[in-house]
Amino acid sequence: MRILALSLALLAAPAWSQSPRSGLEFQGEDIRRLQGDDFANPAMLWAERGAAAWQRKQGAANTSCADCHGAVEQSMRGVAARLPAWDARLGRVSTLEGRITACITREQRAAEPAPESHDLVGLLAYVALPSRGMPLRVDVAGPAQASFERGRELYAKRIGQMNLACTHCHDRQAGKTLLAEKISQGQPTAWPAYRMEWQAAGTLERRLRACFLGVRAEMPNYRDDDLVALQLYLAWRAQGLPLEAPGVRR
């Protein structure tokens, strides 16, 4: 019994030395202030676009998101905090973005939105808003397990000309300075977020692709299964941290 309890405790706690800390703690005072102010937070501009997109009828079905789902405050409460998750209808693990694009093509029968288009990022931000402050809690057991294990493997796998894995910076060196920046733990709680470098809001996939470029590795395509697996692992690794989306990052 004691062994069972111990192994359960080991399973529940992500296996690295530091306790999980939001990426916000590694940002400067200016970024923290910007994210803390819902008016000045530029990511809220995208959330506002998303609010308009939520109401807009489109596609062959001529329906809006609101026609089926009603108000986000009720229907989408907590949703962003428990994704990515296994989607039985799609037959694979799906992110919030995957769910939304599937809904747009399947139910609205409209064209699939391009990755990182303003309206799609806006919808992500708008749908994530009612889950803000809720702790991340994703289900990695059952059918999602294969994707989760793939994500865990990718996180620890050395890639690119720099021959680095995610873990080398974000576990072992977190908190230290790289060029002008503090290395974060790579917690995904702020996404979609406004990134200063882009002067725009973007998804976690865009941010992860930037990391692939940073270690001089080949970037996976948007919506690639590997990127989804990595996002599932990151969400599990951050579990318990409150969702901050839409956040602000350097």
Active site residues: 211
Question: What's the length of the chain?
Answer: 250
Q: How far apart are CA 126 and CA 76, in angstroms?
A: 9
191/194 with CB nearer other proteins: 194
Q: Does residue 200 interact with other proteins by CB under 8 A? A: yes
Least Å from the CB of residue 201 to other proteins = 9
34/241 with CB nearer other proteins: 34
Cβ(167)–Cβ(222) below 8 Å: no
Least Å from the CB of residue 132 to other proteins = 18
Q: Does residue 29 interact with other proteins by CB under 8 A? A: no
Instruction: Find the binder of other proteins among 18, 62, 117, 221 (CB under 8 A).
Output: 117
Q: How far is CA 24 from the centre of its chain?
A: 15
Cβ(101)–Cβ(115) below 8 Å: no
Least Å from the CB of residue 186 to other proteins = 25
Q: Does residue 48 interact with other proteins by CB under 8 A? A: yes
Q: How far apart are CA 120 and CA 246, in angstroms?
A: 13
40/90 with CB nearer other proteins: 40
Stretch that binds other proteins, among 42-50, 57-65, 177-185, 228-236 (CB under 8 A): 42-50
Q: Does residue 30 interact with other proteins by CB under 8 A? A: no
C-alpha distance from residue 214 to each of 8, 10, 168, 172 (Å)? 36, 32, 13, 17
Instruction: Find the binder of other proteins among 5, 142, 199, 218 (CB under 8 A).
Output: 199
Q: Does residue 249 interact with other proteins by CB under 8 A? A: no
Q: How far apart are CA 75 and CA 213, in angstroms?
A: 37
Instruction: Find the binder of other proteins among 44, 144, 208, 230 (CB under 8 A).
Output: 44
- DSSP sequence for 43-97: HHHHHHHHHHHHH--BTTTTB-HHHHH--HHHHTTTTGGG-SEEETTTTEEE-HH
Least Å from the CB of residue 234 to other proteins = 25
Least Å from the CB of residue 158 to other proteins = 29
Least Å from the CB of residue 179 to other proteins = 20
Q: Which residues contact 24 (CB under 8 A, 6 or more apart)?
A: 31, 32, 35, 190, 244, 247
Q: Does residue 40 interact with other proteins by CB under 8 A? A: yes
Q: Does residue 55 interact with other proteins by CB under 8 A? A: no
118/250 with CB nearer other proteins: 118
Residue of 244, 198, 235 whose CA lies nearest to 85: 235
DSSP 8-state class, residue 219:
P
Q: Which residues bind other proteins (CB under 8 A)?
A: 39-40, 42, 44-45, 48-49, 117-118, 199-200
